[in-house]
Chain A
Amino acid sequence: GAGVSQSPSNKVTEKGKDVELRCDPISGHTALYWYRQRLGQGLEFLIYFQGNSAPDKSGLPSDRFSAERTGESVSTLTIQRTQQEDSAVYLCASSLVGTKYNEQFFGPGTRLTVL
């Protein structure tokens, strides 16, 4: 079956513009995660969705970042008024349920470059 897909694969934007990144999780996966990887650093947790529960937003770095998920399907990560330090690869992952022993399946990521 299809894996996790993300779009766009690459996004170049100017400082101050808003961007929207999309994630299509594996069908039937109730848990969805967003991570960020800056150059030379590890994956940084951003936000987690589990079913219809309130999302865990504890990793969002500022109020310019927000994410939505409709039911157990597509999620969008929005960055408003982008800054150069937002440049990174944004990875989405999904798992069957959101327990630590359930494997996370990652998408290929969106490489965001803010000029």
Chain B
Amino acid sequence: DQQVKQNSPSLSVQEGRISILNCDYTNSMFDYFLWYKKYPAEGPTFLISISSIKDKNEDGRFTVFLNKSAKHLSLHIVPSQPGDSAVYFCAASDVSGNFNKFYFGSGTKLNVKP
């Protein structure tokens, strides 16, 4: 039973346009969310995070939005660049966790076309 879901396995976007990656979760106790980026043959690397006390966090071209009532978060990349082509995972942790136990989605493969 997946508590974190990424329903789009892939997304293709033109260079310079916005990429929007979506993630839904079922556990209302989740209070901390992250996005990881993964290139082939490499481990995931941390991209951006958001705490449940916020609804938006921005870091350069990357912005994460959190809608707690809808149990939905999204990652916006503007403008998208070919180097952004990778698999993106969202992850969530609940309030009871006093360590870094995260629940991961299945990932969305982003392809940014030049």
Q: Which residues from chain A sit less than 8 Å from chain B, CB to CB?
A: 4, 31, 33, 35, 40-45, 48, 50, 56, 91, 93, 95, 98-109
- Interface 9-mer from B59-67, B73-81, B92-100: B92-100
- Minimal beta-carbon separation of A53 from chain B (angstroms): 10
Please, which residues of chain B bring their CB within 8 A of the CB of A99?
A: 98-100
| Size bin of chain B's contact surface | 20 to 34
B29-69 near A? 1/0 per residue, CB < 8 Å: 00010001000011111100000000000000000000000
Q: CA A44 – CA B44 in complex, angstroms?
A: 13
- Which B residues lie within 8 Å of A45 (CB)? 101-103
Q: A48-B99, A101-B32, A102-B100 are in contact. Are A42 and B45 (CB under 8 A)?
A: no
Partner of B99, one of A40, A44, A93, A100: A100
Residues of chain B from 97 to 114 with CB closer than 8 A to chain A in the complex: 97-107
A30 CB to closest chain B CB (Å) equals 11
What residues on B are CB-neighbors of A48 within 8 Å?
99-101
Chain A CB count within 10 A is highest, among B9, B89, B100, for B100
- A42 x B101 contact (CB < 8 A): no
A48 to B89, CA, bound (A): 20
B103 to chain A: which residues have CB within 8 Å? 42, 45
Q: B43–A106 contact, CB under 8 A?
A: yes
Q: What are the 5 tightest A-B residue pairs by CB atom distance, in nearest-first order?
A: A106-B43, A42-B104, A43-B104, A98-B99, A42-B106
In the complex, the answer to whether A100 meets B97 with C-beta atoms within 8 Å is: yes
B7 CB within 8 Å of chain A? no
Asked if B2 lies at the interface with its beta carbon under 8 angstroms from chain A, I say yes
Q: Is B86 an interface residue (CB 8 A)?
A: no
Residues of A within 8 A of B89 (CB): 42-43
Min CB gap B55→A, angstroms: 19
